[in-house]
Structure 1
Amino acid sequence: MHAVILAGGKGTRLRPYTTCVPKPLVPIGDTYSILEIVLMQLRRSGFTGVTLAIGHMGHLIRAFVGDGSRYGLTVTYTDEETPLGTIGPVLNVLDTLPEHFLIMNGDVLTDLDYGTFLRRHTRSGRPVTVATYRREIRSEFGVLDVDGEGGESSIVAFREKPTVQFQVSMGVYAMTRETLRRYTPGQVLGFDTLMLDLLAAGEHPGSDLFGGYWLDIGRPEDYDTANAQWPSMAPVLLPDLVQGSAAD
């Protein structure tokens, strides 16, 4: 099994932590970087190969990870000279990838079983499967349903500070290679464009709802949360490693 990890972003929302280090190498709990945690999780899930899509400060990531042998993985690289979007970097290495593979952001902390997720996608026959998470937003205001416009409108329903539930992308995608054959290597391709193109063509992506732990480390407050939760989450995210250390 193979995974493409997107690690080329500038991490501007996470400044000042990313001023001197790329976001995937930001440490969690003064123990491991985010990228190290992901690499060890992938190996535990049965993955043997990883492609790192690097750009901003990519030389630091390349120097840190190397060939991946210390993680039990074979790691290769693809360089973005200019930003290509979420899916764009994958187009440049598509011929080197297996029929089904993983694409994921390099700043995600989750106990999702990546191997099980990819195998479910392979069996589904979907063009792409998105790992999704349930979120909700509570309105700070009473919400009015209004019929008509201006002075002639009427209130037909009222909800006091309603809660809206929805599913969001976790930044983890299981992909079938042929899905991306319609695009040209080197072009900019975002996840949003891919989804809209598939829906317009009647090719419906799959949603794999996950109910475990997930944290997207995009903002300083998310990073602070990750560090605060690390003592309790380390045995969940890296069970073999933590148990092994305890035994030692």
Structure 2
Amino acid sequence: MRKAKEIKAVIMAGGKGTRLRPYTFILPKPLMPVGDQPVIAMLLKWLRRWNIKEAIITTGYLGYMISAVCKDGSQWDIDIRYSTEPEPLGTIGALLMVEDQLDDTFIVINSDLITDLDLGSFIDFHNRHDGLVTVATTQKPVKVDLGVLESDGGKLCAFKEKPKLDFEVSMGIYCMEPSILKFIPKGVPFGFDNLMHVMLDAKLPVYLFRHEGLWLDIGREEDFSHAQASFLRDYKSVVLGA
């Protein structure tokens, strides 16, 4: 396995996990267990397999529990530091709190995912292009649980019963350059969606790296349940080498 360049990872773990309530009234989303370990532990093990040795975890809601579990990262041979959001800053806004530590290419990762993304190839792809940000993407089928009608001038011309549509979606993994930080406003919530609109409005390139393999997002209850079954059955050895 080709190793990734030694760069820092910023793990965004400050959200309240509202879509996973009532579970997240007790645990922050990054500590939700998949099998016998929290999802953030799986994420850190995956990063270490790709030669990532420094991670910054941005925390907010129940952040003390995350730091109590992950500690200084020595159990995974990763140097972990923490940044605490005084108030929710969104999926990208929290980067400004650690901008003094981001002086070279870095990756940003949501804390609620499991993947077998080839991180070395992802970073190489980013370095071969001139963009400030590269987004890891995957194809996501979305089922519409309704009858969908297409019309022309008010007259039915096609009908599909509960169709399944495919979309290219963000995996919540980004490779960025430090100069991206100048586009993030201070002191206000700022998400990935806001950043993409800013980049499009400024006509600045954003590159997409398509991943065809595993991606599980545990942010919703149905996805969390799916991760429990499919990850333990099919993917644990692929991601963790277990």
Normalised to the residue count of structure 2, the TM-score between the two structures is 0.90
The residue number in structure 1 matching 2:56 is 51
- Structure of higher CA gyration radius: 1
15 and 184 in structure 1: CA distance in 2 versus 1, 3 angstrom threshold? closer
> 1:183 — aligned with what?
184
Cross-structure match for 1:113: 118
How far residue 160 of structure 1 moved from its aligned partner, in angstroms, is 3.1
CA drift of 1:93 comes to 0.8
Report matched runs for 1:64-75 at 5 Å. 64-75=69-80
Distance 1:163 1:183 in 2: 36
Match of residue 18 from structure 2: 12
Distance between the aligned counterparts of 2:174 and 2:43, measured in 1? Answer: 14
Paired residues of 2:12 and 2:58 also in contact (CA < 8 A) = yes
Q: Shift in Å at residue 85 of structure 1?
A: 0.7
* Partner residue of 1:60 out of 56, 60, 65: 65
Contact 2:183 2:198 in 1 (8 A): no
2:239 aligns with 237
> Is 1:79–2:84 an aligned residue pair?
yes
Aligned length: 233
Q: Can you list the C-alpha shifts for 1:203-222, whole angstroms capped at 9, x where unaligned?
A: 02111111101111012222
Give yes or no for contact 1:131–1:170 (8 Å, CA) kept in 2: yes
Gapped regions of structure 1 (runs ≥ 5): 148-152, 243-248
TM-score if structure 1 supplies the norm length? 0.88
Contact 1:7 1:106 in 2 (8 A): yes
1-structure distance, mates of 2:26, 2:57 = 19
Cα RMSD for the two superposed structures: 1.7
- Write the deviation string for residues 77-124 of structure 1: whole angstroms up to 9, x where unpaired: 110110001111101111211421111110001111223312321221
Q: Deviations over 1:171-230 (max 9, x none)?
A: 111111112224344332211111011101110211111110111101222222111121
Kindly state the Cα deviation for residue 142 of structure 1 after the two structures are TM-superposed.
4.3
Q: How does 1:33-44 map to 2 (within 5 A)?
A: 33-44=38-49
Q: Is the 8 A contact 1:92 1:185 kept in 2?
A: no
Distance 2:28 2:65 in 1: 8
Corresponding residue number in structure 1 for 2:209: 208
Q: Does the 8 Å contact 1:2/1:98 carry over to 2?
A: no
Contact 1:85–1:188 under 8 Å retained in 2:
yes
Which whole-Å CA distance do the structure 2 matches of 1:129 and 1:225 have between them?
28
Question: In structure 2, what is the equivalent of residue 26 of structure 1?
Answer: 32
Query: Larger deviation: 98-107 or 51-60?
Result: 98-107
Matched residues in 1 for 2:160 and 2:226: separation?
A: 30
Q: Give the alignment of 1:92-131 within 5 angstroms.
A: 92-131=97-136
Q: Which residue of 2 aligns with 1:218?
A: 219
Gaps of 5+ in 2: 1-6
Partner of 2:91, secondary structure, is: coil
**Percent of aligned pairs with the same amino acid:** 39
1:237 partner SS? helix
The answer to which of 100-109 and 127-136 deviates more is 127-136
1:136 to 128, 141, 144: 141
Quote the offset at 1:16 in angstroms.
Answer: 2.6
